[in-house]
């Protein structure tokens, strides 16, 4: 199954410019490890960033300039694929791509999950940068996340199973990006556990009283 939900332009540019917090960078980099399409986009963004820096001081950067440059770059010759790193043998139990694996170590079987709600487990991922929080979440089949909205941005990267969010179904490698305007109640697909990497930059606001009572348990 190929990845259909990619890193947004905004997020990719911030990443390429080194402006993202650690947790969000971890999520983007983990997606890039699985997605040749976005690796190529990231190289382009870095190249364009370099051109813009060289031009800085000579002329102010006009709004829309980046889009123009990017459009020009798209027309130019495609960026050659970097020589791919050797791909380790795939074992079904190893589902954690780098750099996520460096944070959590080993494969899924060795992880210490903490139950935070019925059929919901999590592992908080330690980052030095506290501007946002990264966690691995595991939802049992069909588990619904209480309806919530956001004060900030929520990024979700699916690692196993599927996540249904509105009309969209996300599979391994897919990213969902939510912000203040999003109100949603994602749920795991019916067939197996859904494990996601989730990054939030502000506490979620749950709608129902019951969900608000659960919030301290989630710690999100």
Residue 153 CB, nearest approach to Zn ion (Å): 18
Q: Which stretch binds Zn ion (CB under 5 A): 22-30, 33-41, 86-94, 176-184?
A: 33-41
Rounded to a whole number of angstroms, the minimum distance from the CB of residue 59 to Zn ion is 32
Applying CB under 5 A, which part among 6-14, 126-134, 158-166, 188-196 lies near Zn ion? Answer: 6-14
Count interface residues toward Zn ion (CB under 5 A). Answer: 4
Cis peptide before 99 (omega within 30 of 0): yes
Closest separation in Å from C-beta 177 to Zn ion: 12
Residue 76 to residue 99: CA distance in whole angstroms? 31
Angle formed by the axes of helices 9-16 and 36-55, to 10°? 60
- 153 belongs to the binding site for Zn ion (CB under 5 A): no
Beta strand pairing status for 120-125 and 114-117? antiparallel
- The correct pick among 6, 138, 150, 172 for binding Zn ion (CB under 5 A) is 6
Point out which residues bind Zn ion (CB under 5 A): 6, 35, 37-38
């Amino acid at each position: 199954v190929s990845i259909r939900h990619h890193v947004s332009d905004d997020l990719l540019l911030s990443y390429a410019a080194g402006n993202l917090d650690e947790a969000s960078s971890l999520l983007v980099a983990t997606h890039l490890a699985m997605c040749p399409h976005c690796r190529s986009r990231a190289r382009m963004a870095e190249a364009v960033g370099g051109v813009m820096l060289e031009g800085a001081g000579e002329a102010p950067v006009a709004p829309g300039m980046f889009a123009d440059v990017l459009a020009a770059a798209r027309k130019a010759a495609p960026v050659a694929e970097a020589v791919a790193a050797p791909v380790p043998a795939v074992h079904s139990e190893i589902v954690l791509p780098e750099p996520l694996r460096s944070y959590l170590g080993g494969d899924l079987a060795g992880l210490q999950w903490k139950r935070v709600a019925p059929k919901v487990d999590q592992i908080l991922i330690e980052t030095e940068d506290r501007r946002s929080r990264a966690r691995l979440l595991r939802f049992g089949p069909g588990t619904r996340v209480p309806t919530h909205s956001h004060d900030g941005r929520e990024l979700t990267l699916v690692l196993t199973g599927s996540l249904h969010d509105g009309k969209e179904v996300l599979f391994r490698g897919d990213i969902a990006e939510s912000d203040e305007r999003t109100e949603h109640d994602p749920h795991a697909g019916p067939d197996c556990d859904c494990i996601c990497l989730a990054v939030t930059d502000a506490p979620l606001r749950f709608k129902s009283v019951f969900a608000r009572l659960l919030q301290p348990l989630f710690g999100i």
